[in-house]
Amino acid sequence: MKITIASGKGGTGKTTVSSNLTAYLAEHGKSVVLTDLDVEEPNSGLFIHGKIKYDQIANKMVPHWDSTDCTYCGDCANVCNFNAIVALSDEIIIHPELCHSCYACSELCPTNSLPMMPERIGEIKVFETENFDFVEGRLDIGQEMAVPLIGQNIDYVDENYDGYIKLLDAPPGTSCPVIEASRESDFVILITEPTPFGLNDLKLAVETMKVLDKKIGVIINRYGIGNNSIEEYCKDENIPIITKINNDKAVAQCYSRGELIYTQIEHFKNSIEEIAKFLEGIR
Amino acid sequence: MKEIVVISGKGGTGKTSISASFAYLEGSNAVVADCDVDAANMHILLDADFAKQEDFFSGELAIIDEEKCTNCGKCEEVCRFDAIELKNGQYVVDKISCEGCWYCSRVCPKDAITMVKQKAGDLFVSNIKNNSTMVHAKLGFAAENSGKLVAKVKQEAKIFALKNDKEFIITDGSPGIGCPVISSLSGANLVVLVTEATVSGLHDLKRVIKLLKTFSLKAVCIINKYDLNANMSKNIEEYLDTENIKVISKLHYNEIFTHALVEAKPIVEYSAECEISTLIQESWNEIKNIIKDKK
């Protein structure tokens, strides 16, 4: 079972919930793996302290110019729809950061002068704790496209953790990285807070998940602050509220230190238990 | 005309509350650009009226003409995005997976595939509180190209600022370090980093500062919720010192941010006299001074 934890708005508690939930499930004997798909700013690893057991460089495929047989016909630049290739009369210039790895330039080149070669975009690391593994994707700084790395992360987890509960900690927002992090999941948990920002961004996230045809549930974090607009919205939309996590400065303080929270704060542990129970029910 | 871009690396540190406050303080002398296009919400605090709307087109989608298609499968063979599959004996394109690269369309022997421009979102120019103007956008659901929409928002804001002789553009960026953030940074005269005193706040700040260095951009920092973890705040300050980034303000952990938010007001409007509002006012003055000094 694959579950994505997403949010729309940033800073609502995705990482807090996914790291605590993973540790809780593992402690209760479940085979569970966590992967951090917020590859631009991965920080689940700040809360989970494991030993590194594997790492690999993540690449994307981009064309490399081989001048030997090139006739400078310019077809490559013409077929590239992402402006990643400039064909001059004596040189072909490639902008790898704009390349979407569609292979058109390479495969349509009449002289095979643009072989596709791997180029580093980031890395994937696997950490081992006492009772679960944690897989982290980390985009190199200056790289624009998170999607290929997110996809490779999910592939790695799929290949190596068959039969596990897979928790996917998604990036914030509603655009391509979130879609990549959610599209193959069985269920998407949306975490929000009871404020107008939380509601606005929850609605955007819900609409996105509808387009993807995903089953969803909502967690209200910092419950008690703000207003009850989220509950009303979920009721109108028939979206289950999985749990409400009480607003509590002590939770924020544990988080600030990079500590797991459910082992320290009772009401938070109860919420994690409710999430675990809810997930039992959707299987 | 000077552009100030507010970013954070980590989400939820208070970027939008703070940039909306700057906008409210500066009023009609500034144009606001909400560049967090995939979770835009600044319009809530500044009471935007969505006066002008424009469709934003970006990216293309392959459409297979079933009349012309002989189901030879060449398109599926070349597609690197698994966007084409055989369904009930007919090749069809999956809207969400298609990257709009044109490869299938170029190799189709029957010219059965056309590429259609996609509406990726809406662009708005709104009148907002304090006689000011905001350019903002809404990315289409499950649409791509948020980086390009960010560029469009910035471009519109710049045109408006130049035409109407505005002194500042205040840009609210998105979390992360990827394409929308890189796009929001272009042309910035000063970057304001908003972080919080947590392990993630520091971790994400470091990555965003590395990104700023690659563009040689000058930055200042506001530490929000500094008293949540005084040690962490100290670590952040020490780190910023080594990077030569000035801390222009430290705001304490206070739920008044949320109270103001529930009232749909920037904190400087909701509680003009409170300590946080005073600090934000001072920060804004300092930002303006720094920009003026910077030739």
> B168-181 pLDDT, tens per residue?
999 999 999 999 99
Same domain? For B147 and B218 the reply is yes
Which range of residues forms the domain containing residue B91?
Answer: 66-111
Rounded distance between C-alpha atoms, residue B15 and residue B28, angstroms: 21
Q: What is the pLDDT of residues B42-76, one digit of tens each?
A: 999 999 999 999 999 999 999 999 999 999 999 99
In a domain, B107, yes or no: yes
In a domain, B33, yes or no: yes
DSSP H helical ranges for A11-146: 14-27, 75-79, 104-108
CATH code (residue B204): 3.40.50.300
Rounded distance between C-alpha atoms, residue B270 and residue A201, angstroms: 22
Residues with Cβ within 8 Å of B183's Cβ and at least 6 positions away in sequence, in order, are B35, B147, B148, B150, B151, B154
- Of residues B60, B62, B83, the one with CA closest to residue B143: B60
Nearest chain A CA: its distance from B133 CA (Å): 20
Residue numbers in A near B176 (CB within 8 A): 38, 40-41, 146, 171-173
Q: Does the pLDDT value for residue B150 go beyond 70?
A: yes
- Of residues B45, B53, B56, B49, the one with CA closest to residue B21: B45
Contact A195 B258 (CB under 8 A): yes
Residue numbers in B near A211 (CB within 8 A): 96, 141-142
Same domain? For B186 and B212 the reply is yes
Beta partners for B134? B32, B126
Q: Is A247 left (phi over 0), alpha (psi -120 to 50) or beta?
A: beta
In a domain, B144, yes or no: yes
Same domain? For B45 and B107 the reply is no
Query: Whose structure tokens read 């928002």?
Result: B153
Contact B175 A200 (CB under 8 A): no
B9 touches chain A (CB under 8 A): yes
Same domain? For B92 and B203 the reply is no
Contact B96 A102 (CB under 8 A): no
Q: Does the pLDDT value for residue B81 go beyond 60?
A: yes
Question: Is the distance from CB of A123 to CB of A150 less than 8 angstroms?
Answer: no
Same domain? For B141 and B201 the reply is yes
Same domain? For B249 and B184 the reply is yes
- Of residues A179, A186, A225, A219, the one with CA closest to residue A16: A219
Q: Does the pLDDT value for residue B144 go beyond 90?
A: no
Residue A282 has a pLDDT of 87
Residue numbers in A near B177 (CB within 8 A): 40-41, 139, 141
Same domain? For B188 and B101 the reply is no
In a domain, B92, yes or no: yes
Same domain? For B180 and B88 the reply is no
In a domain, B84, yes or no: yes
Contact A175 B146 (CB under 8 A): yes
CATH code (residue B102): 3.30.70.20
Q: What is the CATH number of domain A2-59+121-282?
A: 3.40.50.300
> Residue B153: pLDDT band by 50, 70, 90 thresholds?
very high
Residue A283 has a pLDDT of 65
Task: Give the residues of chain A that fall short of pLDDT 50.
Answer: none
Beta partners for B170? B4, B32
Contact A253 B228 (CB under 8 A): yes
Of A11, A200, A226, the CB nearest to B10: A11
Contact A11 B13 (CB under 8 A): yes
CATH 3.30.70.20 fits A65-114, yes or no: yes
Element (DSSP H or E) covering residue A251: helix A249-256
By percentage, how much of chain B surpasses pLDDT 90? 94
Residue B237 has a pLDDT of 98
Q: Which of B258, B263, B270 to mutate to test the interface with A (most CBs of A within 10 A)?
A: B258
Q: Does the pLDDT value for residue B142 go beyond 80?
A: no
- A2-59+121-282 with A65-114: one CATH topology? no
Domain count for chain B? 2
Tokens of B91: 């090749």
Average pLDDT over residues B200-218: 96
Nearest chain A CA: its distance from B165 CA (Å): 31
Between B275-293 and B15-26, two packed helices, what is the crossing angle to 10 degrees?
A: 70
Same domain? For B280 and B173 the reply is yes
Rounded distance between C-alpha atoms, residue A85 and residue A98, angstroms: 9
Domain residues of chain A, as ranges?
2-59+121-282, 65-114
Contact B39 A172 (CB under 8 A): yes
In a domain, B280, yes or no: yes
Q: Domain ends where: B75, B90, B111?
A: B111
Residue B293 has a pLDDT of 77
In a domain, B116, yes or no: no
By percentage, how much of chain B surpasses pLDDT 70? 99
Question: Is the distance from CB of B115 to CB of B62 less than 8 angstroms?
Answer: yes
For chains A and B, what is the number of CB pairs under 8 angstroms? 188
Same domain? For B189 and B264 the reply is yes
Q: What pTM, to 2 d.p., does this model score? A: 0.94
Contact A195 B261 (CB under 8 A): yes
Q: Domain ends where: B90, B111, B132?
A: B111
Q: What is the pLDDT of residues B105-134, one digit of tens each?
A: 999 999 999 999 999 999 999 999 999 999
Tokens of B234: 């100290």
Contact B258 A226 (CB under 8 A): yes
Rounded distance between C-alpha atoms, residue A40 and residue A122, angstroms: 10
Q: Does the pLDDT value for residue B295 go beyond 60?
A: no
Contact B214 A141 (CB under 8 A): yes
> Residue B294: pLDDT band by 50, 70, 90 thresholds?
low
Residue of A nearest to B60 (CA): A81
> Residue B141: pLDDT band by 50, 70, 90 thresholds?
confident
In a domain, B61, yes or no: no
- Of residues A255, A210, A103, the one with CA closest to residue B10: A255
> Residue B146: pLDDT band by 50, 70, 90 thresholds?
confident
For residue A281, how many other CB atoms are within 10 A of its CB?
8
C-alpha R_g of chain A: 22
Rounded distance between C-alpha atoms, residue A111 and residue B275, angstroms: 69
Q: Which of B10, B37, B38 to mutate to test the interface with A (most CBs of A within 10 A)?
A: B38
Contact A142 B60 (CB under 8 A): no
Same domain? For B80 and B187 the reply is no
